[in-house]
């Protein structure tokens, strides 16, 4: 697949995004500190800071100096839109091709859920 070799800071970004989308952090909730998240993930704090910077640059978190980072209002819908676009453009084409090669009918997948 295209994203097999992903930089660590992007993998950490995905972990944070998934936590927000899964409801672990709601809009207005404080994210873990850089050091706490780094320790939890076994990552370098500078790498975590780079991942958090992506969220700041995208307007997905609000920074309160001396306090921390908070999930911004509207972050969930922005993340969901990003994830949808990423899936449709970067993941789905490979999945569709694999399904066609394997002879999997989409109706089979819908029946599984």
Confidence at residue 112, expressed as pLDDT on a 0 to 100 scale: 86
The span from the CA of 90 to the CA of 2, in Å, is 8
Which pTM does this prediction carry? 0.82
The span from the CA of 88 to the CA of 24, in Å, is 25
* 8-67 pLDDT per residue, tens: 999 999 999 999 999 999 999 999 999 999 999 999 999 999 999 999 999 999 999 999
Would you call 28 helix, strand, or coil by DSSP? coil
Domain-wise residue ranges, the chain = 8-112
What CATH number does the domain located at 8-112 have? Answer: 1.10.10.10
């Amino acid at each position: 697949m295209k994203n097999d070799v992903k930089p660590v800071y992007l993998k950490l970004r995905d972990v944070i995004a998934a936590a927000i989308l899964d409801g672990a952090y709601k809009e207005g909730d404080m994210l873990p500190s850089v050091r706490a998240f780094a320790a939890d993930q076994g990552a370098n704090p500078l790498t975590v800071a780079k991942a958090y910077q992506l969220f700041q640059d995208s307007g997905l978190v609000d920074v309160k100096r001396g306090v921390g980072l908070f999930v911004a209002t509207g972050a969930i819908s922005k993340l969901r839109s990003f994830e949808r676009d990423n899936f449709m453009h970067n993941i789905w084409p490979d999945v569709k091709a694999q399904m066609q090669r394997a002879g999997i009918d989409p109706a089979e997948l819908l029946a599984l859920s």
